[in-house]
Amino acid sequence: MNKDRLTTLSFFLSPMIVMVLLFYLVPLVMTVYISFTQMRNWNVSKYLTEFVGFYNYHRLFYMFQHDPTFKAVLLTTVVFVAITLVINVFGGLTLALATFFIDERPASAFRLLWLLPRMSPIAVYSLVWYYFFHGSEIGTLNSILMKLGVISQPIPWGQIVPWGAWSIIIFVNGLVGVSFGMIVFTSALNQIPKELVIAARVDGASSWQISRRILIPMVKWHFMYVLTWQFLSLLTTYPHLFLLVQWDLVNGDYGTTLALYVFNTAFGMGEQDQGLAAAAAVLLSIIGIIGGFVTLKVLQFEKMMKRPRGDF
Amino acid sequence: MRDVETRPRRYSRIIILAILLASLPLIIGFTLLVLSSFSTDMVTNLNPSSFHPTIENWINVFHGKLATTGGIRANILRITLNTLIVALGVAGVVTGISALAGYSLSRINFRGRKHMMVLLLILHAFPGVALIVGVYLLYRLTFPQTSDFVRLYSFVYVIFARAALEIPMSVWLMKGFFDTIPWEFEWSGIIDGASRIKVWRKIMLPLIKPGILAVALFAFLAGWQDIIYVRTFLIDQTLATFIEANIEAEFSHMPLIAAAGTLYLLPTIIFFITAQQILLQGYSGGIKG
């Protein structure tokens, strides 16, 4: 590699490398470091050099065995990720298939509408559902059910544990995630040669048969892509949940996943315990990194990375 | 064109109706929010009688009158400006860096290129909450001692920290856009004796303007909608933290928060009307498979 080439490369790549170093690698090392200290309430000058070894990890393990709150958080994480993942993947696939079979104009309109949860500000989107599930008579769900005569008094849905709180967080995050699957599946469906679909139509196949026998088998790779990617992002998402819990719409224990638990332990109200939060974050990262590598292997991303053809 | 010519038409109405039904909660939720901001009482209870049209909420929001009976005042224009600064800053940083890095990953064959692309994918999937603890410690350790620059520093820091989260996906997206440009454009420049940097600036950048626009738009929205980072790092208030902090106002003032929320939603609505194709195509750009 000659000097000229090196100058060119560093011109193009150094800003990105600096960003990755400053905001990914250095913080990661710092998080691991904090997990071995007794850091509390961000009292950096006092606790930064106070090593406690694996104390925080021991505490996590002890809480896993005995603390009902922490057990609730872990259970919520498992239920939340599992159910929301299924809703996201199959909801996205259903929407993509459904809009595939209608005219372009209404199809784009619907796709755009389903992008709304992802594009709108997190605070506004949460605000919409805050009003919808509100525990008083201004809550839309309560007033619908009261008008239908199903219930006589407003019910604070999010405070019913565990399934009331779980339903709300799954619903709110489920709608955000659906759009990812929808976009990926739509672009995959549009790459399928039209002749296949038209030939099947001429042979008298119904839309359902075409979906089942032609379209779905041909988007298998994308299915795995959405499944693994969405799994990782659900495991680590917390901004919407943060607001729902903060505004007291859902129960604090059964509305908190592990990612939100880390954030609230490190930055929340009252007693903050960064050492413990960092230890939990490290465990979460290990799951995330393993998941990331499994994803890459399953999807065979490396094969897609072709060499630039014309560089000399 | 899909199989429109051969498809039986009668099903398509049923499908449209089905999707419409599934979309109802979304439509209702957002409509009620916007309607409530123009009413004296919340209309989220679906009672037509609680809808009294008024623009008082909007006037109060712009005057920063939170409580109807005197009390606290907030400078909503300043708060909106803060949000805009963060969003534009994130958009600028992300677009610049990914236009540079995307070009080299798409066009230059250097050692470690593949590893760098894999690393970016892993970083994109990495738990953000594990990073934010470390990012905050870095913030504390580099915090200026004199109080003159504290607010400025918090702005700069939140912009770069938030932009970093968008970098991996944006670089991939930008690389995808560069991949679509034929090599002949670039060769013609190189044969004429231009350096790669000059080729990038004079030939490639004008050619991928739509890509730059898409990346900038997504980065802008990411910065605009963020709550976690501005809440953790920024000293000044943005619309997100303003809404978060004031939600527990008394019932009578809830339409006011609805008005603030609608104001916050405006750019999203504007993009929805003006940039539909970019929004729909943008997400699939980086993930061709």
- Residues in chain A, total: 312
- For B133, the closest of A31, A143, A202 (CB atoms) is A31
pLDDT value, residue B289: 31
A254: helix, strand or coil: coil
Query: For residue B70, is it within any domain?
Result: no
Kindly list the residues from chain B whose CB atom is less than 8 angstroms away from the CB atom of residue A1.
Answer: 110-111
Q: Show the domain range for B25.
A: 10-54
The answer to whether A232 contacts B100, with C-beta atoms less than 8 Å apart, is no
The answer to whether residues B196 and B96 belong to one domain is: yes
CA distances (Å), origin B2, targets A126, A235, B283: 37, 36, 21
Query: Which chain B positions have a beta carbon within 8 Å of A41's beta carbon?
Result: none
Structure tokens at A234: 């659900």
Identify the pLDDT of residue B287.
Answer: 42
Who among A19, A143, A236 is closest to B45 (CB)? A143
pLDDT for B1: 42
Residue B72 C-alpha, separation from nearest chain A C-alpha, in angstroms: 20
Question: Residue B286's pLDDT is what?
Answer: 43
Q: Are residues B155 and B191 in the same domain?
A: yes
Query: Are residues A22 and B138, on separate chains, in Cβ contact within 8 Å?
Result: yes
Answer whether residue A183 shows pLDDT above 90: no
Q: Where are the domains of chain A?
A: 28-66+269-299
Contact A1 B111 (CB under 8 A): yes
Question: Are residues A281 and B130, on separate chains, in Cβ contact within 8 Å?
Answer: yes
For residues A181 and A310, what is the distance between their CA atoms, to the nearest angstrom?
A: 34
Domain membership of residue B103 (yes or no) is: yes
B221: chain A residues, CB-CB within 8 Å: 119
Where chain B has pLDDT below 70, the residues are 1-9, 66-73, 249-252, 281-289
Question: Is B190 contained in some domain?
Answer: yes
Answer yes or no: is B3 within a domain.
no
Whether B81 is covered by a domain: the verdict is: yes
- A249-288 tens-digit pLDDT: 898 889 999 999 999 999 988 788 899 999 999 999 998 8
Q: Which residues from A are below 8 Å from B228, CB to CB? A: 238-239, 242, 263
CB distance from A6 to chain B under 8 Å?
no
Judged by CB atoms within 8 Å, which residues 167-186 of A form the interface with B?
175, 179-180, 183-184, 186
Instruction: Name which of A9, A100, A288 is nearest B125 (Cβ-Cβ).
Output: A288
* Distance (Å) from the alpha carbon of A71 to chain B's nearest alpha carbon: 20
pLDDT in tens, A45-70: 888 888 888 889 999 999 889 999 99
User: Residue B5: its pLDDT value, please?
Assistant: 52
Using the beta-carbon criterion (under 8 Å), do B100 and A267 form an inter-chain contact? Answer: no
Label residue A310 by pLDDT band (50, 70, 90). Answer: low
The answer to whether the CB of B106 falls within 8 A of the CB of B179 is yes
Contact B74, B237 (CB under 8 A): yes
The percent of chain A in helix, strand and coil, each rounded to the nearest 5, is: 75, 0, 25
Q: What token pair was written down for A143?
A: 């007033």
Domain count, chain B: 2
Contact flag B126-A285 (C-beta cutoff 8 Å) = yes
> In Å, what is the CA distance from B161 to each residue of A126, A173, B20, B86, B220?
23, 24, 39, 11, 14
Structure-block tokens of residue A144: 């619908």
Same structural domain, B94 and B181 = yes
| Residue ranges of A 46-75 with Cβ closer than 8 A to chain B | none
| Claim to verify: residue B117 and residue B256 sit in the same structural domain | yes
Measured between CA atoms, the residue of chain A closest to residue B104 is: A12
Same domain assignment for residues B46 and B87: no
Residues of A in contact with B123 (CB under 8 A): 20, 24
**pLDDT (tens digit per residue) in A135-149:** 887 888 888 888 888
Question: Cβ separation of A201 and B3 shorter than 8 Å?
Answer: yes
Size of the A and B interface in Cβ pairs below 8 Å: 329
- Give the one of B4, B137, B268 whose C-beta lies nearest to A121's C-beta: B268
**Would B63 be classed as within a structural domain?**
no
Q: What is the rounded radius of gyration, in angstroms, for the C-alpha atoms of chain B?
A: 24
pLDDT at B109: 84
CA pseudo-torsion sign A301, A302, A308, A309: negative
For A65, phi then psi, to 5°, come to -85, -35
- Within a domain: B213: yes
Q: Are residues B180 and B247 in the same domain?
A: yes
Are B257 and A127 inside 8 Å of each other by CB?
Answer: yes
Q: Measured between alpha carbons, how far apart are the two ends of chain B, in Å?
A: 21
Lowest pLDDT segment from A8-22, A71-85, B141-155: B141-155
Share of chain A above pLDDT 70, in %: 96
CA distance B280 to chain A (A): 7
Residue A107: list chain B partners with CB under 8 A: none
Interface test with A, best of B21, B45, B118 (most A CBs within 10 A): B45
Residue A229 pLDDT class (50, 70, 90 cuts): confident
Judge if B34 and B130 occupy the same domain: no
The string of DSSP letters for A102-152 reads: S-HHHHHHHHHHHHHHHHS-HHHHHHHHHHHT-SSTTSHHHHHHHHHTS-S
Per-residue pLDDT at A52: 86
Q: Are residues B119 and B243 in the same domain?
A: yes
Instruction: Spell out the residues 6+ positions from residue A45 whose beta carbon is closer than 8 angstroms to its own.
Output: none
In a domain, B68, yes or no: no
